């Protein structure tokens, strides 16, 4: 069965990367969530997508220039119109504590291409181990040096390179860097690549799958997972195919 990962939580319906978005993913029956981590000025692992605060909060400037205490005063739903009250930027630890109460998988994307965030890999892995979440976590990044570092630190954990330009035999590349799966942009995930990767035992979880036709194509292919902003629709469409 194709697993459904809610992108930044249920980002299509709720303020991205907030506990509301993650809880919505659980409510609608997603199999997992995808989220993004960076480091605060004082070295805490925080959950936010952009390096800058401007798009998703009521502040501006870089995440890395604010302490956790400062980040916690911000509203992570301020730029969303509608019914949202104040949403705080979660820490990874807060997310892991919540995950302890359910069975969701969690794809943690290390956002360390613009800024390398030295020590991010060690901190993320230490937290995952502290909460004994190794079996439910997939580490991914566009920074493949960072993924190799993760693999060396924690070979028991699954790593998956993210990529947005076409790769030749990406399943071989993934294995070469210690990865166990591939997370391609949907634009570079044609049927032939998905089928070949699956046949070589390398799971494929493309992003960001928001169109019904794309979901159906990937479900029918038996793709390992999809990463979507709309987990409720993804679950409904998957159920619909099952009953046919």
Kindly write out the interface string for residues 126-145 of this chain, putting x where it contacts ligand G3P by CB under 6 A and - elsewhere: --------------x-----
* Catalytic residue chosen out of the listed positions 14, 49, 149, 151: 49
Largest CA distance in the chain: 53
Residue 10's binding partner out of ligand G3P, Ca ion, none, with CB under 5 to 8 Å set by partner kind: none
Q: How far apart are the first and last CA of the chain?
A: 15
49 is catalytic: yes
- Annotated active-site residue 149? The verdict is no
Bridge-based pairing of strands 32-39 and 45-47 is antiparallel
Q: Which of 16, 24, 31, 36 binds Ca ion (CB under 5 A)?
A: 36
Q: Choosing among Ca ion, ligand G3P, none, which partner's interface includes residue 207 (Cβ < 5 to 8 Å by kind)?
A: ligand G3P
183 interface partner picked from ligand G3P, Ca ion, none, CB below 5 to 8 A per type: ligand G3P
Cα 97 to Cα 90, 91, 132, 202, distances in angstroms: 11, 10, 11, 30
Q: Are 62 and 37 in contact (CB under 8 A)?
A: no
Q: Taking phi first (over 0 means left), then psi (-120 to 50 degrees means alpha), and beta for anything else, what does residue 131 get? A: alpha
24 binds Ca ion (CB under 5 A): no
Q: Is 68 helix (H, G, I), strand (E, B) or coil?
A: helix
Burial 78-107 (b: 16+ CB within 10 A, else e): eebeeebeebbbbbbbebbebbeeeebbbb
Distance of CA 138 to the CA centre of its chain: 8
The angle that helices 144-153 and 120-130 make with each other, rounded to 10 degrees, is 40
* Residue whose entry in the numeric block shows the structure tokens 């493949």: 144
Smaller CB separation from Ca ion, 5 or 171: 5
- CB distance 126 to 153 below 8 Å: no
CB of 208 to ligand G3P, least distance (A): 6
Q: With binding defined as CB under 5 A, does residue 16 bind Ca ion?
A: no
Q: Which is nearer to Ca ion, 34 or 196 (CB)?
A: 34
7, 14, 144, 151: the catalytic one is: 7
Q: Which of 24, 31, 109, 121 binds ligand G3P (CB under 6 A)?
A: 109
Question: Binding residues for ligand G3P, how many (CB under 6 A)?
Answer: 10
Contact status: 31 vs ligand G3P (CB under 6 A): no
* Subset of 83-142 contacting Ca ion (CB under 5 A): 109
Least distance CB 240 / Ca ion (angstroms): 27
Q: Shortest Cβ distance from residue 112 to Ca ion (Å)?
A: 12
Would you tell me which residues interact with ligand G3P (CB under 6 A)? 7, 34, 36, 49, 109, 140, 162, 183, 207, 227
Would you tell me which residues interact with Ca ion (CB under 5 A)? 36, 109
By annotation, the residues acting in catalysis are 7, 49
């Amino acid at each position: 069965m194709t697993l459904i990962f809610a992108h930044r939580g249920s980002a299509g319906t709720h303020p991205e990367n907030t506990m509301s978005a993650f809880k919505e993913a659980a409510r609608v029956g997603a199999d997992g969530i995808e989220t993004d981590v960076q480091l605060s000025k004082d070295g805490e692992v925080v959950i936010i997508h952009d390096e800058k605060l401007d798009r998703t909060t009521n502040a501006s400037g870089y995440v890395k220039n604010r302490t956790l205490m400062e980040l916690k005063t911000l509203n992570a739903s301020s730029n969303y119109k509608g019914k949202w009250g104040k949403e705080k930027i979660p820490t990874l630890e807060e997310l892991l504590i919540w995950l302890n109460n359910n069975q969701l998988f969690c794809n943690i994307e290390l956002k360390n291409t613009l800024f390398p965030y030295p020590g991010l890999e060690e901190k993320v892995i230490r937290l995952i181990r502290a909460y004994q979440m190794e079996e439910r976590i997939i580490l991914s990044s566009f920074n493949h040096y960072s993924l190799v570092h993760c693999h060396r630190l924690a070979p028991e954990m699954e790593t998956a390179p993210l990529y947005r330009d076409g790769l030749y035999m990406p399943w071989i590349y993934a294995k070469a860097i210690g990865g166990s799966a591939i997370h391609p942009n949907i634009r570079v995930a044609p049927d032939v690549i998905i089928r070949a990767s699956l046949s070589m035992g390398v799971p494929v979880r493309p992003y960001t799958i928001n169109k019904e036709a794309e979901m159906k194509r990937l479900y029918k292919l038996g793709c390992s997972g999809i990463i979507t902003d709309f987990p409720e629709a993804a679950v409904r469409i998957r159920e619909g195919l099952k009953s046919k």
